[in-house]
Amino acid sequence: MSDNVVKQIAAEDLRHMNNQEGLVLQGCGGPPQEWVDGINNLLTEAGILLDGSTFHTENVTVFQHDDRTCLLFPFKDVKLDVDKLAMWRLQTHGQFGGTWLSDYVPNRLGGFIQTPPLQKPKMELVGHDSNIFSIMGRASFLLQMAGMNAENKEMVDRVTSCKDYDKALNIISEYVDTELSTPSIEPKKSQKKKGKSAYER
């Protein structure tokens, strides 16, 4: 038995897990760790957990809903025979009340809460020196501060592999809002009426 403790969360927390999937078991009275060990044994014997894979205690969570104790077994980092698990869930539904996280949240909790897309940070190119790595460093800092770590890594990879200064500036301007960032359709129309492109110097 693991020495780790099964983490307690609020049922509302599940509504923020829209990019995850897992198995929710309902009516899990008693010590949560005994459930984790028991489910791992059952699913291993049934050939559902593969290659020695198990649900780790630190990943499983327990929550309360409708006066019942429930456990969430997330599928991340676990090797499963999903077809066998689906059959097992149906066969044991009367015993464990098993359901998928993607079914439980819409049917019991009112649906997932969609996280709004992160807004690109603004950065002026005017005033920076012509060193592309200095400009990229500033953009990288702003992206990290905005919590856009994946976008930051992608930008850095693209800029460092680009050998053209102007193209590198345009790449940076895809990730942070600069003077070179693509304007909306409406401003383009108004610029055209004036007979001068926004990119003419």
Residue 84 sits in the same domain as residue 123: no
User: Is the pTM higher than 0.75?
Assistant: no
Residue 80 sits in the same domain as residue 52: yes
pLDDT tens, 8-55?
999 999 999 988 999 999 999 999 999 999 999 999 999 999 999 999
**194 half-sphere exposure, CB direction, 13 A CA radius:** 9
In a domain, 33, yes or no: yes
CA distance 26 to 116: 31
Enter the tokens of residue 122: 């603004």
Residue 132 sits in the same domain as residue 176: yes
Residue 50 sits in the same domain as residue 88: yes
Residue 32 to residues 38, 61, 101, 126, Cα–Cα distance (Å)? 10, 9, 18, 58
In a domain, 21, yes or no: yes
Number of structural domains the chain divides into: 2
In a domain, 190, yes or no: no
Contact present, 78 and 21 (Cβ < 8 Å): no
Residue 132 sits in the same domain as residue 86: no
- Domain end position, chosen among 108, 126, 153: 108
Residue 123 sits in the same domain as residue 155: yes
User: Quick one: average pLDDT of 72-98?
Assistant: 96
- Domain end position, chosen among 88, 108, 128: 108
- Domain end position, chosen among 77, 108, 139: 108
pLDDT at 199 over 70: no
Specify the pLDDT at position 49: 98
Residue 146 sits in the same domain as residue 99: no
User: Quick one: average pLDDT of 138-156?
Assistant: 91
| DSSP code for 200 | -
Could you list the residue range(s) of the whole structural domain that residue 136 is in?
A: 116-185+196-201
Best CA proximity match to 13, nearest among 105, 148, 100: 105
Choose the weakest-confidence range: 85-89, 115-119, 151-155, 184-188: 184-188
Residue 85 sits in the same domain as residue 52: yes
